[in-house]
Structure 1
Amino acid sequence: MSDTATTPPTSKSAQTRQRILDAAAEVLSRKGYAGTRLGDVAAVAGVQAPAIYYYFGSRDELVEEVMWVGAHRVRLHVEEVLAAVPEGATYMDRMMVAVDAHLRFELQLSDYATASIRNAGHVPEQLRVRPAAEEALYSRLWRDLFVAAQQAGEIRADLDINVFRLLLLGAMNWVVEWWNPRTRSLDELVATAQAMVRHGAGQP
């Protein structure tokens, strides 16, 4: 997967920093926090390992940045996709779009998102503070969708939308641990997740 910055860095130093960050996201998404070594990151980035310390004070500082970028980009991606939904779409339609955008970004488009999701429960607590703030903003986006859908009568009035929302986000995030494209396509996975929301939360 490839997930570089939307606007490429202009200076050589900024480009090198971005390359290191991209490499760290790739390694962290594959090997996890415990298995990520600066030597592996350096090899992927095409730099000497000591050069990493010019841009990041420690391995943990680099990991924290990857985690924050992952959480930040998921939120921005889903926000952008929702902003492009035509006026007049139902809130349920918007939730279907959000499910699709989240899963495709997580599984196809972003090493950062995969690294952030996969390692959220494995990094030291001090590395979770900044990414967790982004995750809270993203969770609020989903909460607002569910509240609006419930107020519009598109989902059941008796549904505990906070519990359902947390279950949905947890299920979608956990997909990175078990999804195998050789056994089921991403389209099938997205359709199943959408059906879970439509039939689990929607009006009978």
Structure 2
Amino acid sequence: MAGKGGGRADRTSTAKSEATRARVLDAAARVLAREGYSGTKLTDVAREADIQAPAIYYYFASREDLIEEVAAAGANTLIDQVNEAIAALPADASPLDHIDALAEAHIRFTMTAPDYARAVLRNAEQFPDGIELRHVAVMQRYQRLWATQLREAQKAGLLDTTVDLAIARHLAIGALNSAMDWWAPGRSSVAKVVAQTRHLLRHGLGG
């Protein structure tokens, strides 16, 4: 019986530890989104997470490790949502359907996880050289997804042949990122923003 009780206690302790770690990560995302890389302090993160600052070191080795984990979590959330959206498409989906899926996943990410979105799409460029940046490789994969679908759409005759694909990719992603600056719950529905985004992308890219 003691062994079983100990097992339950261990599981409870592990669950509490994981919950606290997640709370610290969410708090760090909020502070990073608000203050930027240089302004993010562990004391502020601890206050947001409602724990003592030294306790953060139980979960993260350093301030830089914590901030990098926020960026990695944001990048992985985005790429996971993108992959799920693409996987849900029918087998005969066109490249423009794939672009629609990319845009919708991006919009929903910025609107449902704005702190993580800002960390990985905006504040990540503030990170200094010399620290491990796992999110960079993930975001490069994301950029390649856009490049591939734009190229396939142009090859299929669905995009204006005069469109410079690199410029189009940067402008499209930049426009999607801007939702973080102007959208707020109650201003318009996510579905309406998604529909408008699809309309503008299809008509703008298609000519």
Q: TM-score surpassing 0.5?
A: yes
Cα distance in 2 for partners of 1:200, 1:193 equals 10
Residue 4 of structure 1 is matched in structure 2 by none
What are the residue-to-residue correspondences of 1:185-200 with 2, within 5 Å?
A: 185-200=189-204
Residue 177 of structure 1 is matched in structure 2 by 181
Cα distance in 1 for partners of 2:74, 2:15 equals 23
Residue-pair matches, total? 195
TM-score (norm 2): 0.82
1:134-156 deviation per Cα after TM superposition (whole angstroms, max 9, x unaligned): 11111011111112212222212
Asked if structure 2 preserves the Cα contact closer than 8 Å seen for 1:20 and 1:42, the reply is yes
Q: 1:127 to 1:104 in 2, by over 3 A?
A: farther
Residue 80 of structure 1 is matched in structure 2 by 84
Cα distance in 2 for partners of 1:163, 1:19 equals 38
TM-score (norm 1): 0.83
Residue 160 of structure 2 is matched in structure 1 by 156
Letter in 2 for 1:174: S
Cα distance in 1 for partners of 2:131, 2:204 equals 35
| 1:118 and 2:122 are equivalent in the alignment | yes
CA shift for structure 1 position 26: 2.5
1:23-77 deviation per Cα after TM superposition (whole angstroms, max 9, x unaligned): 2122222333233221222223232110111222221211111112111211111
The unaligned stretches of length 5 or more in structure 2 are: 1-12
Residue 9 of structure 2 is matched in structure 1 by none
Cα distance in 2 for partners of 1:191, 1:134 equals 27
Q: Looking at secondary structure, tell me which structure has more helix per residue.
A: 2
CA shift for structure 1 position 125: 3.3
Residue 141 of structure 1 is matched in structure 2 by 145
Q: 1:22 to 1:181 in 2, by over 3 A?
A: closer
- Give RMSD over aligned pairs: 2.4
Asked if structure 1 preserves the Cα contact closer than 8 Å seen for 2:72 and 2:120, the reply is yes
CA shift for structure 1 position 184: 4.2
Instruction: State which drifts further: 122-131 or 68-77.
Output: 122-131
Runs of 4+ off more than 6 Å: none
What SS does the corresponding residue of 1:70 show, helix, strand or coil?
A: helix
CA shift for structure 1 position 109: 3.7
